[in-house]
Amino acid sequence: RSLAGLQLFTQLEELVVDNNLLGNDLRLPRLPHLHTLTLNKNQISFCAPFLLQSFEQWRWGLFVFSTFSEKFSTEQLWEARTLSTTGHPSFCHCCAPGHRVEGLLEHLADVTPSLQYLSLLGNEACPNQLVSPDKDEDDYQRYRYFVLHKLPHLKFLDTRKVTGNEANEARARGAFMKVLKPKTDAVSQTPLGAF
C-alpha cells in the first residue's frame, strides 16, 4: 500500500502498481517522464471511505449535518443534497472533495505531465462490464469522457486507444460526464419535501 521511495526514480517511464490496495488518496511524487501507469485492481472508487463519528455539527458546503451518534462511511454519505434533523438523518451519499476519483485524476495531471497510457480496470471507479456486470457500455463511455477531460493528453485508456472523436467529446462535455452512483434505498427513504 506504500509507494515510499518512488521519488528516487525521477527518470521512471512506466509504473505498474496493480493489486496494491491503493485508493483515491494515492499521491505520487513528480514523475515528469512517466508515460505509462497501470493501477488495475486497486481500491480506486467514487469516494475514499472515511468514518463520521459522534459530532454535534459538521458543515459540508452549504449543508449542515447535526447530531449523529452512529458511524457513517462514504458508502452512505456522498454528494449530500439534504439531511433531516428529526432524530435520524435522511441522506444520499457524500464525499470529501480530496477523496473523490477526480481529485486523483487532477493529481495525476499535475505530477505526470507526460502520461499517455492509464489503466484503471478492476476498480470501482472504472465501470467496465467485465468487472461490473450491472454497468453498460454507456456507463463506461461516460467514464472515459470524464477521465479524458481530466487527462487530455492520454492516448490510451484501459484497453482502448483514444479516438479523435472521443477526445473532442471529452473536451466539449467531459466535465459533465462524471459517473454517479446513487444509492436507491437511501434516495427512496428521503422525504419528497426534503429536496
Residue 155 sits in a domain whose CATH number is 3.80.10.10
Please tell me the distance from the alpha carbon of residue 63 to that of residue 68, in angstroms, as a whole number.
Answer: 14
Task: Write the pLDDT tens digit of every residue in 65-105.
Answer: 433 434 444 444 434 333 333 333 433 334 444 457 889 99
Say if CB 88 and CB 191 are below 8 A apart.
no
Number of domains in the chain: 2
115 in a structural domain: yes
Is the pLDDT confidence value at 31 over 50? yes
Q: Does residue 78 sit within a domain?
A: yes
Asked if 34 and 63 sit in the same domain, the reply is no
Q: How confident is the model at residue 21 (pLDDT cuts 50, 70, 90)?
A: very high
Amino acid 181: pLDDT: 52
> Are residue 32 and residue 74 in the same domain, yes or no?
no
Q: What is the DSSP string of 48-114?
A: ----EEEEEEEEETTEEEEEEEEEE-TTT-SS------SSS--------GGGBHHHHHHHHHHH-TT
Q: Does 33 share its domain with 65?
A: no
32 and 63 belong to one structural domain = no
Domain that holds residue 82: 52-94
> What are the CA-CA distances from residue 52 to residues 7, 91, 126, 156, 183 (Å)?
33, 14, 26, 38, 18
For residue range 121-167, what is the model confidence (pLDDT) as tens digits? Answer: 999 999 987 777 888 888 999 999 999 999 999 999 999 999 999 99
Contact assessment for residue 73 and residue 50, using Cβ atoms and an 8 Å cutoff: yes
pLDDT tens digits, 95-131:
444 457 889 999 999 999 999 999 999 999 999 877 7
| Cβ contact 47:93 at 8 Å | yes
> Which residues are bridge partners to 15 per DSSP?
37
